Amino acid sequence: MNKDKFLQTGLLEQYILGLTDEEETKIVKDYAETYPEVQSEIDQMREALDQYAKQYAVMPPEELKSRVMKGVDQADQRSDTGTAVPGPASSGSNWMGAALMVLLIGASLFLYRGKAAAERDLASLESRHTIFQEECERQKAALQQQQQIFAILNHEATVPVRLHTTGLQANAEAVAYLNGLEKVAYINTGLLPELPSGKTYQLWADVEGEMINMGVLEQQSKGLKAVSYIDHAESLNITIEPEGGSDEPTVEQLIANGEV
């Protein structure tokens, strides 16, 4: 098709109004490239259409300009922080970025290690704190017990009773403390010799010829131990009994006694 015939088809006008499909658009562009007259037609029609469009001009509100400029600034920032613009101008900032990245990774690793160490320390401190607290409670209880004993021993109504060996066993000595006012009794068995297994010491009060049980003296616990207080005891007696103690004393095994 020659140029004049082409201009008669109306394809050019359709193209200007955006009504052509891809294939038709290509035909128009090819003609425009080949014939300057066709290009000039296009330019003139576009110019007319531009003028036509300008008839609709309306003054936009004043704030639109600042909105537009802000939008442009933001678009700039987004592209700055987003995809890096290639080219030599940006290589410096790329290098800086890489350095900054390494620095940040290093810093976070350092801080992470610090945090992990701090967590470990905290856990260890917490467990130690618990141990100390338990120890403290134990000490407090022990101290209270000691204070109680001390108070009793120190009491004006407390009477010490020294028990001596009957000769059956050498060195069978003990000291008891009786307080008639508070109705408490303690005995220190630290000086009694050790017994074979299956045997135990037992303390008895002699009240008008009758032996009354004051308690089994466990070998394991050394030092002062509490026993039952019996009123009107005339003497205190220690016998050797089978493990667990007896209801009646084995008189043949009386190893120590003392008068009150």
Applying CB under 8 A, the residues found at the interface with other proteins are 10, 13-14, 16-19, 43-61, 64-65, 67-69, 71-73, 75-76, 79
3-state SS assignment for residue 211 = strand
Instruction: Name which of 155, 168, 235, 233 is nearest 195 in CA terms.
Output: 168
CB of 102 to other proteins, least distance (A): 30
> Is the Cβ of residue 10 or residue 242 nearer to other proteins in the bound state?
10
Cβ(256)–Cβ(172) under 8 Å? Answer: yes
How far is the C-alpha of 109 from the C-alpha of 103, rounded, in Å? 10
> Is the Cβ of residue 88 or residue 244 nearer to other proteins in the bound state?
88
CB of 89 to other proteins, least distance (A): 11
Torsion angles phi and psi, residue 223, rounded to 5: 85, -160
50: phi > 0 → left, psi -120 to 50 → alpha, else beta; which? alpha
> Is the Cβ of residue 73 or residue 126 nearer to other proteins in the bound state?
73
**How many other C-beta atoms can be found within 10 angstroms of the C-beta atom of residue 38?**
19
> Is the Cβ of residue 87 or residue 209 nearer to other proteins in the bound state?
87
First to last CA, the chain: 147
CB of 43 to other proteins, least distance (A): 7
Token pair recorded at residue 16: 């200007």
Residue 218 DSSP label: -
CB of 95 to other proteins, least distance (A): 22
CB of 96 to other proteins, least distance (A): 21
> Is the Cβ of residue 68 or residue 116 nearer to other proteins in the bound state?
68
